């Protein structure tokens, strides 16, 4: 929002680089959920046309608007019917893990391509914006993966709880699911998530950069 009112040209230029990267991040994330759910017995995502790399079915209009105005947003969750899963508790945890795992993989690939492009390409009209997109692909996928691991429903981390905690706590988890969106909104608005996500992103980013430095 600061760039929008301070320097609209910079805001638009940055947005042009960020939008493709965001679409890659959320599309890969949601498709991964759908593919793993289908593999484990639930075809709901495919039947509703959500197993596609076309980003349009995954876009939430309000989430997209929030991204443009506030710098963060969200996609439509892929529908999963737990009743179709062979082992619902374990399989839901696997479905939940698929999204962040796919983002971590894409983040690493984005960093590799970014480094390769910076080393091999000249500062051309195409190379510079492409490098910018790859940088945001790396950044958005890494942040999205770690953000979704926060153990608060409706985030993916919240879906791990029934698998990790004893059955006696499931009633508490069910109550948490009712208030989870409000808790998450409070965490985001107060910037409390930064204290969790920031160090985690720096830690994982340090590992990625070290690995890329060894292999390239």
Residues annotated catalytic, as ranges: 30
In angstroms, rounded to a whole number, what is the distance separating the alpha carbons of residues 67 and 21? 12
**Long-range Cβ contacts of 152-158 (<8 Å, 24+ apart):** 152/176, 152/180, 152/183, 152/184, 152/187, 153/177, 153/180, 153/181, 154/77, 154/180, 154/181, 154/184, 155/180, 155/184, 156/96, 156/97, 156/99, 156/100, 157/96
DSSP class of residue 79?
Answer: P
Alpha helices in the chain (DSSP H): 2-6, 8-39, 44-47, 61-70, 88-120, 127-148, 156-164, 170-189, 193-215
Q: Is the dihedral of CA 83, 178, 67, 107 positive or negative?
A: negative
Q: For residues 158 and 92, what is the distance between their CA atoms, to the nearest angstrom?
A: 11
The SS3 assignment for 216 reads coil
């Amino acid at each position: 929002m600061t760039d929008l009112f301070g320097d609209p040209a910079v805001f638009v230029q940055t947005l042009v680089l960020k939008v493709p990267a965001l679409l890659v991040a959320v599309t890969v994330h949601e498709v991964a959920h759908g593919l793993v759910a289908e593999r484990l017995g639930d075809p709901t995502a495919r039947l509703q046309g959500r197993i596609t790399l076309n980003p349009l079915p995954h876009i939430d209009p309000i989430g997209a608007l929030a991204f443009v105005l506030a710098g963060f947003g969200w996609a439509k969750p892929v529908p999963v019917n737990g009743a179709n899963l062979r082992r619902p508790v374990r399989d839901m945890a696997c479905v939940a893990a698929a999204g962040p795992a796919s983002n971590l993989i894409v983040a690493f690939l984005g960093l590799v391509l970014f480094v390769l492009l910076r080393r091999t390409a000249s500062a051309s009209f195409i190379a510079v914006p492409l490098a910018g997109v790859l940088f945001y692909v790396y950044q958005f996928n890494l942040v999205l993966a770690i953000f979704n691991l926060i153990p608060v429903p409706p985030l993916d981390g919240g879906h791990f709880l029934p698998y990790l905690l004893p059955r006696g706590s499931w009633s508490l988890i069910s109550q948490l699911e009712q208030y989870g969106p409000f808790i998450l909104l409070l965490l985001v608005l107060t910037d409390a998530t930064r204290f969790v996500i920031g160090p985690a992103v720096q830690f994982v980013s340090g590992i990625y950069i070290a690995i890329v430095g060894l292999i390239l």
